[in-house]
Chains A and B, each alone.
Chain A
Amino acid sequence: MGRATHANENFMSNLISATGLAKTYGKFTALDHVDFQIEPGRIVGLIGPNGAGKTTALRAVLGLTPYTGELRVFDRDPFKERARIMQDTCFIADVSVLPGWLKVSQSLDFVGGVHPKFRRERAMSLLSKTQIKPESRIRELSKGMKTQVHLALAMAIDARLLVLDEPTLGLDLLARRAFYDALVNDYMDETRTILITTHQVEEVENLLTHVMFIERGRIVMDTPVEQIAQRYVAIAVNPERIEAAKAAGPFYVRPLMGKTFMYFDRPADPALRELGEPHTPTIADLFVAKLSQGAA
């Protein structure tokens, strides 16, 4: 009884919990003993350059690849219990994973047939807002339409976790915007947890509650978005104060159109305010700053 309660508490506080999660492909280290926790209701962006380990981390969470270290999803071992975890998880990889021969109507039939939490009416109503015909085969659809079908399938599942792996890769601007609008308007509420990887940071910037930066298999930053303003400051440094600003120890310096931007991780320091005009860095700025710092 006590044990069950404990497991339940752990399960309630962390949807996903990784400790020392590691994965190598031959000599290449895709994940280098990373630790992270994801609580319910969060919208977490896992952001990193190509080959940083984003997709490997997601594959591990989804039970698609074996790994070493400790990983729990809904307090289960994802590699051993993938099918069970998929009852409460939706996964959309990039646009080309729906099989071309499948008809849209068949995709609804099949998912409805094997998924206990799929609500067909909901998928139908989502699709009715689009130009997609039920009798079309996936291969006849544009990339944007394929994504719409997959999103409609995913959103019609009453899942607790939605995992998106570069969901808008290869889509044009209109289709990308449509995808995120649908996600925000038709899916998101405080009970949903979303884990999303992308290297187009600007796109998800306003969506996220948390960001994790990953580089060369390591998590280099893991923070709630609301704390970014408290932790980091970017300053457009006055030209005459540049030497003084450099002495204050910025972690990233970016000359841009005649101005010099410097990034500091102690915004409360009043001395910094003297150097120039402060503002809160965007996630994209921070991403570049953090990763350039790693490379230096």
Chain B
Amino acid sequence: MNTYLWLFRREVWENRAIWLLPAIVGGLLLIVALFGHIQVDEWPRQLSDQQLRVLGPMVAGGIGTAMFLIMSVYTSWYLLDCLYADRKDRSVLFWKSLPVTDTQTVLSKLAMALLVIPLVYFVIADITALAVSFVLSVRGGSPFAQALWHPLDWLQLQVMAVYAILTAALWFLPFSAWLLFVSSWARRSVMLWALLIPVAGCFIESRLLGTSLLRDVLLAHLLGYGKSAFHDESHFTHHAMIGNGHLNTPDALSEFVNLGGFLSSGEMWAGVVVGAALVGATIYMRHRFTEI
């Protein structure tokens, strides 16, 4: 276990963007909150209690979602680069001269992308949301303050974030493992290989068989996470007015969580199996091929 902590530390040393990037994004959001234009005297007073109730989670949830999207792009890059970079600069010979197994190395990098980096973003998103809420409350006065500070909503958002990190790690495992796998053997142009092989697979399938099964499966899985892990708004009967339209909202945020549906999803488990096989293949490649 201690070895893994050191391996994580090593990744953070090498990839300072892990915390720098979200810190910069958080800082920018805070600057917007500090100096952005808010018409404080008008619309908060016109909102109903129910609408105000939605405002708080929207600020925190919005920041969280923005961070999550940035993180997805960053971790994709990280997974593609991490094993390749060691081979490119030949430092793999140094890392392999230490009593650390290839399995530990590969798993540490996967765990970085799936758990540690999301956790870093989660904490920084939280701090940002608190700071932004505080600034908006001070600038907007009591209606804003009332809307933004709901401890119970806040706690539920935390639970939802942890739920999202864990379920996304499982759901996206086949994609993450694919990127890591390419990183373990490509001699150059990791990005190109990572995209080219699935695209070529889809192309060959449509030429030979006239079908588009692979493309459909890949796209469905890539876009299917939200539907699989969360209830959508049609699930709820409660209405809240936003502007002129209305929105179905749950009584409690935690009602969004669809753990049962997620865990009973055959698609999710099939993806996990594919991902595990790719992780195994990555360890095999890391063990066998040292230098470029």
Contact = CB atoms under 8 A, between A and B. Distances in A.
Interface of A: 59, 62, 64-66, 82-84, 86-87, 89-93, 96-103, 106, 109-111, 113-116, 150
Given A99-B89, A110-B6, A64 B96 contact: yes
B43 interface: no
B244 interface: no
Contacts of A90: 97
B288 A66 contact: yes
B99 A86 contact: yes
Nearest to B94: A97
Contacts of B94: 93, 97-99, 150
Interface stretch (B8-16, B23-31, B190-198): B8-16
A114 B13 contact: no
A92 B90 CA distance: 12
Interface of B: 2-3, 5-7, 9-10, 13-14, 86, 89-91, 93-94, 96-102, 104, 288, 290
A62 B92 CA distance: 13
A59 B290 contact: yes
A95 to B, nearest CB: 10
Nearest to A102: B13
Contacts, number: 74
Given A66-B288, A114-B3, A103 B97 contact: no
B97 A86 contact: yes
B288 A84 contact: no
Given A110-B6, A113-B2, A97 B288 contact: no
Contacts of B101: 82-83
A97 B93 contact: yes
A55 B94 CA distance: 15
Given A86-B99, A96-B90, A103-B13, A113 B290 contact: no
B262 to A, nearest CB: 36
B20 to A, nearest CB: 14
Contacts of A92: 97
B89 A115 contact: no
Contacts of A87: 99
Contacts of B13: 101-103, 106
B290 A116 contact: no
A156 B72 CA distance: 41
A109 B9 CA distance: 10
A91 B99 contact: no
Nearest to B86: A99
B9 A110 contact: yes
Contacts of B104: 83
A62 B5 CA distance: 25
Nearest to A80: B287
A104 to B, nearest CB: 12
B14 A101 contact: yes
Nearest to A82: B96
Contacts of B102: 82-83
Nearest to A117: B99
A17 B101 CA distance: 23
A50 B51 CA distance: 76
B6 A100 contact: no
30 contacts: A59-B290, A64-B93, A82-B96, A82-B101, A82-B102, A83-B100, A83-B102, A86-B96, A86-B98, A86-B99, A90-B97, A91-B93, A91-B97, A92-B97, A93-B90, A93-B93, A96-B90, A97-B93, A97-B94, A98-B94, A101-B14, A103-B13, A106-B10, A106-B13, A109-B9, A110-B6, A113-B9, A114-B6, A115-B98, A116-B99
